[in-house]
Amino acid sequence: MRHAIIVDLGFGDAGKGSVVDWLASPAASAVAGLARPPVAVVRFNGGAQAGHNVVTPDGRHHCFAQFGSATLHGVPTVLSRHMLVEPLAVAAEARALAALGVPDPLGLLRVDVDALLTTPYHAAVNQARETARGAAAHGSCGMGIGETVAYDLAHPEDAPRVRDIMHRSRLRRLLQRMRDRTVDTINQVRPTRDPAELPSVDTLLDVYRQFARVARLVDAGYLRRVARAGRLVFEGAQGVLLDETNGFHPHTTWSRTTFENASELLTVAGVDVHDRDQVLRVGVTRTYATRHGSGPLVSEDASLLPLLPEPHNTTGRWQGAFRVGHLDLVALRYAVDVCAGIDALAVTHLDTAANADRRAPGALQVAAAWYLPSLPGPLLRRLHLPTDGPSTQLTGLAFHAQPVLRSPPTGWAALLHDELATPVLVQSWGPTWTHKLPNPVAVAA
């Protein structure tokens, strides 16, 4: 039995949800160590801004935000203490899952009482700040994720957590202080926003009280108990290149997007994360680079957009446009280094690359290195990890770099195996779990 941790090696949208869905499907039973279905999916970073698309063989589609991407298989979800829980969004997602035929979605949800709450007040400040930045916008999802973390750092005693839902008088005080501060911040940052648009404290109290009635709230010991019961799949959000410490700042998320949070949770649960017989660390990548909104994308090539259809990721009001580029080996190597290595790869969108090649042979290429016109010297094939925390140095480098392109490979999975010195666990040739081709040898390697 192996616990699996799934992270995205890019800027997000690589197909983590589809891989998690496959790990809970009958098809994964062909892979040694993954034969038993997971007893739970654990979300270990981010919040309601996640968008993990899953399509079932019978054509149903859901974009998972806070529920785990194996929910359509009936697998429970654990929102760990590292999650930022947004009860209003949870309720909306539960209704959408019920409409798809999932009986009692909220009955499948477990929420750690130590998780921070994301509220409409966080979202309002987030949107005001991003609007004020204008052309210098960071590319936020506009859902208050960064503001939830920032508020906790600035006012740790006042930041509401899930456990506060059970104490109405305390939660009222916390929400009132937050609303007052939100009004002050909006008046400073974007005075045109009418504070009257913010929901009242009483409205939120009623919503959160209902959430406490239907969601199962758990303590720190729950994960240890469930880890003993069977195999867990840890589902990450966003991408490693957006990591709060090692990403391309300031176009990053306020979250640890590597294996770090999941490893910490497993260690507390009594699992030896260094034992590869117990834990499998999987990095997910497309056959080409993608990015939502602002920030560097060295291999970007807008001419590829017509060749790479994107049914589920579109231009967002706050994120901006969905962008594409050639597979960037420099960025991928950096992501693997940030993760301190990975055990296996999941390669997605192989069908999209094949279709693009049929329409325009050779158009989709590979960025083998970066070239800096203003800095004569050798080509960059590997980036150095920051040593002093978040830095804009890498961002400046990436904004000025140009990709050194080479012809596409005869096999994308083989190329990634060789270039990243990592076995490929699964190849995805389509949106459903039936389109995934497992490689049993990868787990044993």
Determine the pLDDT at residue 197.
81
**Do 50 and 102 reside in the same domain of the chain?**
yes
Alpha helices in 59-144 (DSSP H): 87-99, 120-133
Q: Which CATH number do you get for residue 127?
A: 1.10.300
Tell me which residue range forms the domain holding 62.
3-111+219-444
Identify the active-site residue in 52, 122, 138, 349.
Answer: 52
**Do 360 and 267 reside in the same domain of the chain?**
yes
Residue that finishes a domain, picked among 192, 217, 242: 217
For residue 309, give every residue at least 6 positions away whose Cβ sits within 8 Å of its Cβ, in sequence order, or none: 352
**Do 274 and 241 reside in the same domain of the chain?**
yes
Angle between helices 120-133 and 145-154 (to 10 degrees): 100
Determine the pLDDT at residue 286.
98
**Do 196 and 244 reside in the same domain of the chain?**
no
**Do 318 and 425 reside in the same domain of the chain?**
yes
Q: Which CATH number do you get for residue 279?
A: 3.40.440.10
Measured in Å, how far apart are the chain's first and last C-alpha atoms? Answer: 15
Interatomic CA distance for residues 141 and 122, integer angstroms: 12
**Do 233 and 336 reside in the same domain of the chain?**
yes
Determine the pLDDT at residue 193.
62
Residue 13 among the catalytic residues: yes
Residue that finishes a domain, picked among 217, 249, 270: 217
Interatomic CA distance for residues 7 and 376, integer angstroms: 35
Nearest of 82, 88, 52 to residue 67 by alpha carbon = 52
Count of structural domains, the chain: 2
DSSP assignment letter at 80: -
Average pLDDT, 10 consecutive residues per value, the chain (445 residues): 93 96 89 81 94 96 97 97 96 97 96 97 89 67 86 96 96 97 87 75 94 91 94 96 92 92 96 93 98 93 95 66 96 97 97 97 97 85 81 89 95 96 96 91 59
Determine the pLDDT at residue 140.
63
**Do 33 and 60 reside in the same domain of the chain?**
yes
**Do 206 and 227 reside in the same domain of the chain?**
no
Identify the active-site residue in 8, 13, 243, 328.
Answer: 13
**Do 301 and 355 reside in the same domain of the chain?**
yes
Interatomic CA distance for residues 64 and 44, integer angstroms: 14
